[in-house]
Amino acid sequence: MPSFVKPSARPPGMHAGRDRLGCKDIAGTQPARRASGGRREEHELRHGRLQGALVLVLENEWDVAEETTGILRRAGCRVLGPAPSVASALDLLEGETPDAALLEAGLGAQMYVAVADRLQEHGVPFAFLGGRDHAAPVGYDAHRVLGTPVSAATLRAEVLALLTDPAV
């Protein structure tokens, strides 16, 4: 089974008071409020529709996988994985069907196609993480790409959007 790529040093841009992805919005802080949602949206992000949602995480960099899964778990999600490879993700999908998925975009098109296709076959909404140019990979332009580093609030909001409006 492939293992995670462990960082040899602190990621660029990581400073004291920031999370492992270099974001100022460290885990445990309140999510940003939108003008239209206020406290109700904040509650739903922290306690509502994310609670118990099963989210597949396909990420081969250990530090990014750890941070992403930590954010999701603190938001009340159950995490399927993290899977460090396409083969691992496909093995996980044999046993369970997630409610949503986050796939690393930097694996190369031939790599994540099998996972993305399997998710689409089962109607599972997904987004990509870490796109270099912040554009969806070829053939998946209907799916959003979250550039990394991504804040905890943005990650929670994206998963909530996937769960409530799969067309996002």
pLDDT digits (tens, 9 = 90+) for 32-80: 333 344 444 444 545 567 999 999 999 988 888 999 999 999 999 999 9
pLDDT band, very low/low/confident/very high, at 144 (cuts 50, 70, 90): confident
Structural domain boundaries, residue 63: 54-164
Is 14 inside a domain boundary?
Answer: no
Is 71 inside a domain boundary?
Answer: yes
Point out the least confidently predicted range of 3-17, 41-55, 80-94: 3-17
Residue 103 has pLDDT above 50, yes or no: yes
Is 10 inside a domain boundary?
Answer: no
Q: Do you find a cis peptide bond into 82, omega within 30 degrees of 0?
A: yes
Q: Which DSSP string corresponds to the chain?
A: ----B--SSPPTT--TTS-TTS-SS-TTSPPPPPTTTHHHHHHHHHTSTTTT-EEEEE--BHHHHHHHHHHHHHTT-EEEEEESSHHHHHHHHHH---SEEEEEGGG-HHHHHHHHHHHHHTT--EEEE--SSSSPPTT-TTS-EEPSS--HHHHHHHHHHHHH-TT-
> 152-164 and 62-74 are packed helices; what angle lies between their axes, rounded to 10 degrees?
70
Number of structural domains found in the chain: 1
Is 80 inside a domain boundary?
Answer: yes
Is 73 inside a domain boundary?
Answer: yes
Is 119 inside a domain boundary?
Answer: yes
- Average pLDDT for the chain: 75
CATH code of 75's domain: 3.40.50.2300
pTM tops 0.75, yes or no = no
* Residue 63: alpha-carbon gap to chain centroid: 13
Q: Tens digits of per-residue pLDDT, 125-140? A: 999 987 556 567 777 8
Q: Report, as an integer, the average pLDDT of 98-111.
A: 79
Is 86 inside a domain boundary?
Answer: yes
CB count in 10 Å sphere of residue 113: 16
Is 96 inside a domain boundary?
Answer: yes
- The answer to whether 69 and 79 have CB atoms below 8 angstroms apart is yes
